[in-house]
Amino acid sequence: QGCDPFAQTQRSKLQHRRARINQQINKEMRMRAGAENLFRATSNHKVKETVALELSYVNSNLQLLKEELEELNSSVDVYQNDSESISVPMIPLGLKETKELDLLVPLKDLISEHYGEEGVLFEKEIKEFMELRQAMRTPSRNEAGLELLMEYYNQLYFLDSRFFPPTKSLGVFFHWYDSLTGVPSHQRALAFEKGSVLFNIGALHTQIGARQDRASLPGLNQAIDAFQKAAGAFNYLKENFSNAPSLDMSTASLNMLVRLMVAQVQECVFEKMTLLRSQHNFLARLQLAQEAARVEDVYLLVHQTMTQAHVKDYVPFSWTTMVHVKSEHFKALSHYFAAIALCDCPAATDAELPEQEKAFIQFHVTMPEGPSLRVLLQDPEERRKLGKAHLKKAIMKHEEAMRIHGLCKILRKMDILQEVLSFAHKRSLSKYSEIDHEEDFFETGDAPDIHPKTHQKPEIKSPNFSQVKVTDLFHRLGPLSVFSAKNKWYPARRVHLMRGENGFGFTLRGDSPVLIAGVIPGGCAAEAGLKEGDYIISVNGKDCKWSKHAEVVQLLKSTGEEGVEITVITL
């Protein structure tokens, strides 16, 4: 459940193309490394020339592959919803790809060496784990897909405790491709596998958020939830997994992704307000203007983060452009709603004045020049003048957004974004011509910027791993408190005990596994070589690793004259 390996959706075709390019990039990088080594090692002039030529081919191939991959990573539209309504596209992330992994031999070997059990007996469990890993490579884009990734992530905790001793490596490499550049990385550390799965949990949330129909309230709430959870996953990754070998999981990159998700939440909050509020009253329109200014603010921060030295080289140009376009677009909207509040709402009555004054004092970053607040709010002509100044700024910003949008080849193909920008621009222009009087001889002033403010701050929701319950696939090896990779014990000893006058001559305590708490000197147990601190793992051939205290006592009591055979281990 939650896996669709054969789904030939647009998204999975994209994923397959991405995987193919990843492998080609990998091949070219290996060729380049080989050629560079030869170039350094040889002193033959002729060979050097040939290798240099070969290197220039490889480098140009790599450049072309990276451009092809960037175009794929910019295929934002594949992830959007199919509804008729026009909403601004959101930026989703593609999943990280990984290579298949065969754990059968390494785990069987470790079970024989470390646990002293026959590895062959655990083939079923190992195959089940490998099937789970195979399934989580292609999660479906819904709640079930998220649960599948969570289930695998939680199983990795058990795998780590059972098979990854602190001092020795298992000898397997985990291979993952960078989600933005396609460059392969590999590590022996299980933390890399965990971190990559966590990255995919965040990426899947972004895809679920991007596909919601944001023209309806339920769709908006789901989009907000998905982007908040994506921010939580990337933030958790940033705080708990450092030293990842791939760029997409570096601190700078994760920082950018968290901010991008927060900005997308803020944009949804603005859209939610436009749906919920009747925009006909003065205060509601002021609030909308401030909400739009807040969205502009957060996108500006994302744009600054994306253009930093460590990040700008590998973030798709279309993302950076889209974020820049959105910051200009929402700045224009903030001025547009300010103008609408001033021009379309009736002048304040004496009763409304105190409330409107209070809201207006905190509305602008700096107070507008001209008459006092009271005069401004009650004089329609003054309101029109300031409204016109706001519209002039709005139109300038709309035009700037359209100019930046036109610079990016990939965004130019995105009709929906084009439509949104030109609709907003035309709306501001028609409002301007409506309030512009021929006899206006005053110079339209410069409207101050609007103070950003939101009524719903985005939350960063950390992943809740406990919501997906899993059972340890390898629980037959025994309780983790004793039978783990970090503990060592001597080979199991079999002891035959006969019941004496004082019983077997030892006392027991604890559960799963039961511990020998004390051995009576001179008793039957002492003679057989049992020691305090030994764990009983079987009685008469019956496995007791998970048995409770009372169950072991019962088994011992029920032995007859022939005595009892117990198996113990010493840590």
Whether 104 contacts 120, CB under 8 Å: no
Q: 444, 435, 446: which is closest to 380 by C-alpha?
A: 435
Residue 3, phi then psi, degrees to nearest 5: -125, 135
Whether 398 contacts 329, CB under 8 Å: yes
Residue 279: predicted pLDDT: 60
Give the pLDDT band of residue 219 (cuts 50, 70, 90): very high
DSSP H stretches of helix in 407-443: 409-412, 415-435
Distance, in Å, from the CA atom of 335 to the CA atom of 135, rounded to the nearest integer, reads 50
DSSP H stretches of helix in 352-414: 353-361, 373-378, 380-406, 409-412
CA 357 to chain centre: 44
Residue 174: strand pairing partners: 187
Distance, in Å, from the CA atom of 171 to the CA atom of 131, rounded to the nearest integer, reads 20
What confidence tens digit (pLDDT) does each residue in 12-70 have? 677 677 778 878 888 888 888 888 888 889 899 998 888 888 888 888 888 888 777 77
Residue 393: predicted pLDDT: 95
Residue 515, phi then psi, degrees to nearest 5: -110, 140
Name the 3-class secondary structure at 506: strand
Residue 104: predicted pLDDT: 92
Q: 21, 24, 43, 22: which is closest to 32 by C-alpha?
A: 24
Give the pLDDT band of residue 79 (cuts 50, 70, 90): low
**Residue 369 corresponds to which tokens in the numbers above?**
């020049």
Number of Cβ within 10 Å of residue 53's Cβ equals 11
- What residues have CB less than 8 Å from 210, skipping those under 6 apart? 76, 79, 80, 81, 89, 90, 91, 92, 223
Name the 3-class secondary structure at 241: coil
Number of Cβ within 10 Å of residue 43's Cβ equals 6
Distance, in Å, from the CA atom of 334 to the CA atom of 412, rounded to the nearest integer, reads 24
Q: 381, 377, 384: which is closest to 348 by C-alpha?
A: 377
Whether 245 contacts 192, CB under 8 Å: yes
Q: 534, 482, 483: which is closest to 507 by C-alpha?
A: 534
Residue 244, phi then psi, degrees to nearest 5: -70, 140
Number of Cβ within 10 Å of residue 354's Cβ equals 10
Please give the single-letter amino acid code of residue 261.
M
Residue 469, phi then psi, degrees to nearest 5: -80, 135
**Residue 19 corresponds to which tokens in the numbers above?**
């995987």
pTM above 0.75, yes or no: yes
Lowest mean pLDDT among 113-122, 309-318, 424-433, 462-471: 309-318
DSSP 80-95: S---SS--PPP---PP
Residue 169: predicted pLDDT: 81
Residue 418: predicted pLDDT: 87
Distance, in Å, from the CA atom of 195 to the CA atom of 179, rounded to the nearest integer, reads 13
Q: 443, 543, 440, 553: which is closest to 503 by C-alpha?
A: 553
Residue 542, phi then psi, degrees to nearest 5: -90, 125
DSSP H stretches of helix in 120-250: 123-136, 143-163, 190-210, 217-240
Distance, in Å, from the CA atom of 264 to the CA atom of 49, rounded to the nearest integer, reads 51
**Domains of the chain and CATH, by start:** 10-75 (1.10.287.160), 91-252 (1.25.40.280), 277-456 (no CATH), 489-570 (2.30.42.10)
Distance, in Å, from the CA atom of 247 to the CA atom of 264, rounded to the nearest integer, reads 22
Residue 75: predicted pLDDT: 65
Residue identified by tokens 């305590």 is 509
Whether 447 contacts 393, CB under 8 Å: yes
What confidence tens digit (pLDDT) does each residue in 493-550 have? 898 888 877 788 888 999 889 999 998 888 888 888 888 899 999 998 888 999 998 9
Average pLDDT of span 126-152: 93
Residue 28, phi then psi, degrees to nearest 5: -65, -35
- What residues have CB less than 8 Å from 156, skipping those under 6 apart? 190, 193, 194, 197
What confidence tens digit (pLDDT) does each residue in 325-362 have? 999 999 999 999 999 999 988 888 888 888 888 888 88
Is residue 244 over pLDDT 70? yes
Name the 3-class secondary structure at 529: coil
Is residue 190 over pLDDT 70? yes
